[in-house]
Amino acid sequence: MTNGDLKIKLPEILPSITFEEGGQWLNINIEPKEWLLFAKNLRNNPDLDFDYLFCLTCVDWRTHLTMVYHLESTQYRHTIVVKSKLDRNKPEIESVSQIWRTTDFHEREVYELFGVNFLNHPDLRLLILPDGWEGKFPLRKDFEDPVNMIKL
Partner 1 sequence: MYRETQIVDDNSTASPDVEGDLVINVGPQHPATHGVLHLVITLNGETIKKLDPHLGYIHRSIEKMCESLSFRQFIYVTSKMDYLSSHINNHGCALCVEKGLQIEVPPRAQVIRVLMDELTRLASHQLWWGAMAMDVGALTPFFLAFREREMINDIMEESCGTRLTMNYMVPGGVMDDVHPNFQKRVNEFIKHFKNKIDEYDELVTGNVIFQNRTKNVGYISKEDAISYGMTGPSARGSGVQCDIRKLYPYEVYDKLQFDEIIEAEGDSFARYIVRMKEMRQSLSIVEQLIDNIPAGEFQAKTKAVLKLPKGEFYSRVETARGEFGVYIVSEGGTTPYRIKFRSPGFSNLSALDHMARGGKIGDLVAIMGTLDLVIPDIDR
The reply on whether position 70 binds partner 1 by CB under 8 A is yes
Q: How far is the CB of 82 from partner 1 (least distance, A)?
A: 13
- Measured at the CA of 82, the angle between CA 81 and CA 84, to 5 degrees, comes to 145
Smaller CB distance to partner 1: residue 33 or 64? 64
The reply on whether position 68 binds partner 1 by CB under 8 A is yes
- 3-class secondary structure, 43: helix
Among 2, 4, 12, 22, binds partner 1 (CB under 8 A): 22
Which amino acid is present at 131? D
Smaller CB distance to partner 1: residue 100 or 118? 100
The DSSP symbol for 60 reads E
Smaller CB distance to partner 1: residue 71 or 93? 71
- Among candidate residues 71, 70, 75, 118, the one with its CA nearest the CA of residue 97: 118
Which amino acid is present at 101? R
- 3-class secondary structure, 54: strand
d(CA 88, CA 96): 20
The reply on whether position 147 binds partner 1 by CB under 8 A is no
The reply on whether position 136 binds partner 1 by CB under 8 A is no
The residues of the shown chain that bind partner 1, judged by CB under 8 A, are 22-25, 51-55, 57, 59-60, 68, 70, 74, 77, 100-102, 104-106, 109, 127-131, 138-139, 143, 149, 151-152
